[in-house]
Chains A and B, each alone.
Chain A
């Protein structure tokens, strides 16, 4: 099974700051990597698909990048509404695997 190691587990940042969350895949998954944001009591919302493509309706301050088997989600100019838990997901092969999640709070 492919392991997705996500870091950090939690993050506290101020509005307008830049934050980066990473996921390290245990093997090659190509660009089969998506990032989701989940708010309490809600379904996950797609932010980034195919590692770097911005999902419809998502603000451009969200961006995804890839370096080998390491994937990153960057949030530029953090906003209050960006609080929540962020997950990466690989759909390259079954079983799909999620990262452990990053809880983002604003100071």
Chain B
């Protein structure tokens, strides 16, 4: 398994500002993933963050709104830009540790964002 931490755990932000979420993994991983869980909804993949290359975004998510950094094999950040109340969600990062036989991903505790 992998231990994944996120900062901040929660935040309340004003409309039009931005929030940067940090994700730290306790082992080196090739890919890290950012998900969003809107209230009462399932988890939706925003993007896959590969070290040394541009993030790969899913349909409906764009780099200008959700810029991602991946400076090394244990760390990534997700910025949610130009916030609106519709961005109020839980944002989760995950990673798939190397050497696993299966396809399971391990998740951080999430960041609960409320936009006023």
| A, B in one complex | no
List the interface of chain B (C-beta within 8 A of A): none
